[in-house]
């Protein structure tokens, strides 16, 4: 019985390994990744890029360093993990844009909802009557899942 269990375990593990290879995503091509400098930068420009890249990932903004009264997050990397692509765990909400005539709710904030605020300030909410869309970027791809609605 133990020999049979061992054989079944080995077969199961082999099938599992092969299955995982087929369902895991392929590594994106270098030109599809947004984490490096563009070609042709001068040494000074590369230095400036690297400084900005470090700030993008590491700097936490505060009132003293320029964080506004309403905001989405306190660091760039909070929303733009992976140097700009976002993840399945981040989403954004845009409101007020219904067609090419423009956004009639810009005076109320937006177009991206800033749902956090410093103490003493009120975060934005979707204005009554405004259309809105929530976007969730699939990891390492170029399209968004869009969920649209209208605030009543």
pLDDT tens digits for 68-86? 999 988 988 888 776 666 6
Which pLDDT belongs to residue 15?
Answer: 77
Domain membership flag for residue 7: no
- DSSP string over 21-71: HHHSPPPPPGGG--SSPPTT--HHHHHHHHHHHHHHHH----TTTT--SEE
The owner of tokens 């009557």 is: 129
Mean pLDDT, residues 23-52: 78
- Provide the pLDDT confidence category of residue 45 given band limits of 50, 70 and 90: very high
Which pLDDT belongs to residue 145?
Answer: 47
Domain membership flag for residue 10: no
Which pLDDT belongs to residue 110?
Answer: 76
Tally Cβ neighbours within 10 Å of residue 70: 16
The owner of tokens 């844009």 is: 97
Give pTM, 2 decimals.
0.60
Domain membership flag for residue 18: no
Comparison of pLDDT for 85 and 126, the residue scoring more: 126
Domain count, the chain: 1
Contacts of 140 by beta carbon, 8 Å cutoff, 6+ apart: 25, 28, 32, 33, 82, 85
Domain housing 133: 39-150
- pLDDT value at 67 more than 70: yes
Domain membership flag for residue 34: no
Domain membership flag for residue 22: no
Bridge partners, residue 152, by sequence: none
Domain membership flag for residue 33: no
Domain membership flag for residue 64: yes
Q: Is the peptide bond before 81 cis (omega within 30 degrees of 0)?
A: no
- How do strand 116-117 and strand 70-71 relate by DSSP bridges? antiparallel
Residues, the chain: 152
Domain membership flag for residue 115: yes
Mean pLDDT, the chain, whole residue set: 79
């Amino acid at each position: 019985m133990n020999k049979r269990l061992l054989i079944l375990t080995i077969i199961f593990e082999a099938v599992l390994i092969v299955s995982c290879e087929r369902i895991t995503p392929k590594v994106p091509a270098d030109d599809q990744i947004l984490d490096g400098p563009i070609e042709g930068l001068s040494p000074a420009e590369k230095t400036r890029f690297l400084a900005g890249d470090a700030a993008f990932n590491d700097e936490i903004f505060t009132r003293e360093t320029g964080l506004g009264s309403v905001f989405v997050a306190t660091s760039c990397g909070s929303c733009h993990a992976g140097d700009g692509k976002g993840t399945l765990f981040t989403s954004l909400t845009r409101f007020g844009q219904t067609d090419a005539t423009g956004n009639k709710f810009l005076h109320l904030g937006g177009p991206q909802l800033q749902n956090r605020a410093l103490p003493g300030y009120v975060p934005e909410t979707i204005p009554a009557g405004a259309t809105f869309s929530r976007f969730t970027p699939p990891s390492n791809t170029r399209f968004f899942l869009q969920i649209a609605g209208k605030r009543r």
